[in-house]
Structure 1
């Protein structure tokens, strides 16, 4: 099962919420290029010290100055169960035209690529 990792602060309530219910959705949007990703999965707070050290980098140090062993750092592990990706390559005027045509015809518009993955 594919996994995403995130570093978060223990000072936030995120770790506590994940311990109560780890069902999450992670999304990414690049509206300028009309690309969107939505990922669902089960998240847990990981105690894997080796993974913390492997993933820790100079950019992360800006948030966690104590390094990979900073007491404020928590490693969140998201096991992906479902993912969707949209890549819309038509121009904005073409998108609007297709949406208007669909509204008139009552049929769903076909705009760009859409892929769905169940893990």
Structure 2
């Protein structure tokens, strides 16, 4: 069962729902790996599939991240909607595979920026099974700006909305 930190008025299930919803809506995430000495991050387009409890990415077989994942499979993904003050992070275990059927299912016209078509033999599918997630969810830009202004005038810390961490 999910357990949320007490910084949210939402139930753990509502937090989990919102994490999955925002990660799917925002799409591009910063995908962070460990190379044994440093963290490495790069933007990737996420295919979020809550029903399969997985996040998929199409990647090239020659990417440095593939070797990093093989050695250190725990990764972090961060989605940011800075205009809406909404932030999501998930951590989980990643694998890279040459699953041609899944690659074909995940393929979109957007991928033509990197490969000619889904039959390109250099495409791999990177799959992450998330273990936990965290959410920072503010109502909107106007509310956030107003809270910052009030905090600046009063000296109090601004409340930017819900923050909660759950096990996925």
RCO higher in structure (CA 8 A, sep ≥6): 1
CA distance in 1 between counterparts of 2:75 and 2:149 reads: 32
Is it true that 1:101 corresponds to 2:156 in the alignment?
yes
CA distance in 2 between counterparts of 1:41 and 1:91 reads: 30
Q: Which stretch of structure 1 is more off in the superposition, 92-101 or 13-22?
A: 92-101
Matches within 5 A, 1:1-119: 2-65=53-116, 67-89=117-139, 90-98=143-151, 100-102=155-157, 110-119=159-168
**Structure 2 regions of 5+ residues with no counterpart?**
1-51
CA distance in 1 between counterparts of 2:105 and 2:68 reads: 25
TM-score by length of 2: 0.60
CA distance in 2 between counterparts of 1:51 and 1:114 reads: 34
Q: Is the 8 A contact 2:98 2:123 kept in 1?
A: no
Report the count of equivalent residues: 112
Q: Which stretch of structure 1 is more off in the superposition, 13-22 or 45-54?
A: 45-54
**Structure 1 regions of 5+ residues with no counterpart?**
103-108
